[in-house]
Amino acid sequence: MTRLDSLARVVRSKNAGPLTITLDVMFEDRADYDRALQSPGFSTEAIGKAYGIPASGVEIMPYPKALAIKVSMDRKIVAGDPGDRDVYGAQQHAPILALEI
Three-state secondary structure of 31-77: HHHHHHHHCHHHCHHHHHHHHCCCHHHEEEEEEHHHCEEEEEEECCC
Q: For residue 88, what pLDDT is reported?
A: 87
Q: For residue 87, what pLDDT is reported?
A: 86
Extract the residue ranges of the chain whose pLDDT is less than 70: none
pTM: 0.92
Q: For residue 61, what pLDDT is reported?
A: 98
